[in-house]
């Protein structure tokens, strides 16, 4: 499909990615002080992209008011990185959807840290279904049922969710990696900000934690034009079809899955994760 580039065993959208950008990512010099927000798409990427730079710059709100999110914490694998790399302040915040096995060699040899955000895959599927309707750079998802099959088979951007999670959960990064869920962020954002600041070695005072949390709520981000993708052309993202900041809740899958779809989905996910060294924090039913 012209909408995707095959990169090793995964597909990536050819909008925002190119052979050159993927090559650039492989040769990128990750620095010891870098912190990467790592996600499978629709797990809370843009949310962590907002939180992380604010933690690293100790609550300075200037960037979220003046710099679009994609340039504040650029994607490692996207074309924008080469354009803005020299403007990034240390410690740098980067974002990536790459599975662990496709991370650049310099990431492995560095002391850079990673924050892996996980989300209930049933909610990811729903979020992705709507995202495919609004993002012109992705193919029409078809029916929800058809899209579920695609998702389970990994015929979607960045491949199978289970492969992505297994790759990062199985990494040998020790204390260089922190796992957090979208559900934890929803449940207690200030506590999540505190966890992230402790992990990144920033001892933020409580006022700063609260300031960051307040500026990273769904409604704050949805109304911030530097974060809500309203600056991109309608031919790229059509928020009238479905807004990027769609619902921002836990459990919307209940409004979309039939009971047959719940069983089918859960059976495939459980099978894919058989023998995995970790268990999922959600019950898939």
The residues carrying an active-site annotation are 97
CB of 150 to ligand A3P, least distance (A): 17
Q: How many CB atoms lie within 10 A of CB 125?
A: 24
CA distances from 246 to 147, 182, 241 (A): 18, 15, 10
CB of 121 to ligand A3P, least distance (A): 12
Contact of 193 with 55, CB cutoff 8 Å: yes
Check binding of 246 to ligand A3P (CB under 6 A): yes
The single residue among 106, 217, 230, 261 that binds ligand A3P, judged by CB under 6 A, is: 217
Give the position of tokens 């069983």. 263
Find the part of the chain contacting ligand A3P (CB under 6 A) among 8-16, 86-94, 156-164, 241-249. 241-249
Longest Cα separation, the chain:
51
Contact of 10 with 102, CB cutoff 8 Å: yes
Whole-number Å distance between alpha carbons of 91 and 196: 14
Whole-number Å distance between alpha carbons of 37 and 96: 6
Mask for 158-197, x = binds ligand A3P (CB under 6 A): ----------------------------x-----------
The single residue among 12, 22, 46, 115 that binds ligand A3P, judged by CB under 6 A, is: 46
Check binding of 141 to ligand A3P (CB under 6 A): no
The residue among 30 and 117 lying less far from ligand A3P, judged by its C-beta, is 117
Strand order across the beta sheet in which 113-118 lies: 93-96, 35-39, 113-118, 177-181
Find the part of the chain contacting ligand A3P (CB under 6 A) among 6-14, 71-79, 134-142, 214-222. 214-222
Contact positions vs ligand A3P (CB under 6 A): 39, 41-47, 123, 127, 130, 186, 216-218, 221, 245-248, 252
């Amino acid at each position: 499909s012209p909408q995707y580039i095959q990169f090793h065993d995964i597909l990536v959208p050819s909008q925002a990615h190119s052979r050159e950008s993927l090559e650039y990512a492989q040769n990128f010099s990750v620095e010891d002080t870098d912190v990467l927000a790592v996600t499978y798409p629709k797990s809370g990427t843009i949310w962590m992209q907002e939180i992380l730079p604010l933690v690293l710059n100790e609550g300075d709100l200037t960037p979220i008011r003046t710099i679009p999110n994609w340039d504040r914490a650029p994607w490692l694998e996207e074309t924008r990185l080469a354009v803005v790399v020299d403007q990034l302040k240390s410690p740098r915040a980067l974002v990536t959807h790459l599975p662990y096995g496709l991370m650049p060699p310099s990431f492995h040899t560095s002391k850079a840290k990673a924050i892996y955000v996980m989300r209930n895959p049933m909610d990811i599927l729903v979020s992705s279904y709507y995202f495919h309707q609004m993002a012109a750079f992705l193919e029409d998802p078809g029916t929800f049922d058809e899209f579920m099959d695609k998702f389970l088979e990994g015929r979607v951007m960045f491949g199978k969710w289970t492969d992505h999670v297994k790759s990062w959960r199985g990494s040998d990064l020790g204390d260089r990696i922190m796992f957090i869920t979208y559900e934890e962020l929803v449940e207690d954002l200030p506590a999540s900000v505190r966890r992230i600041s402790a992990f990144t070695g920033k001892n933020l005072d409580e006022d700063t934690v609260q300031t960051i949390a307040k500026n990273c709520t769904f409604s704050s981000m949805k109304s911030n034009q530097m974060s809500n993708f309203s600056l991109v052309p309608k031919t790229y993202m059509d928020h009238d079809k479905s807004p990027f900041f769609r619902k921002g809740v836990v459990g919307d899958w209940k409004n979309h899955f039939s009971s047959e779809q719940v069983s089918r989905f859960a059976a495939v996910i459980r099978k894919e994760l058989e023998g995995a060294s970790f268990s999922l924090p959600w019950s898939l039913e």
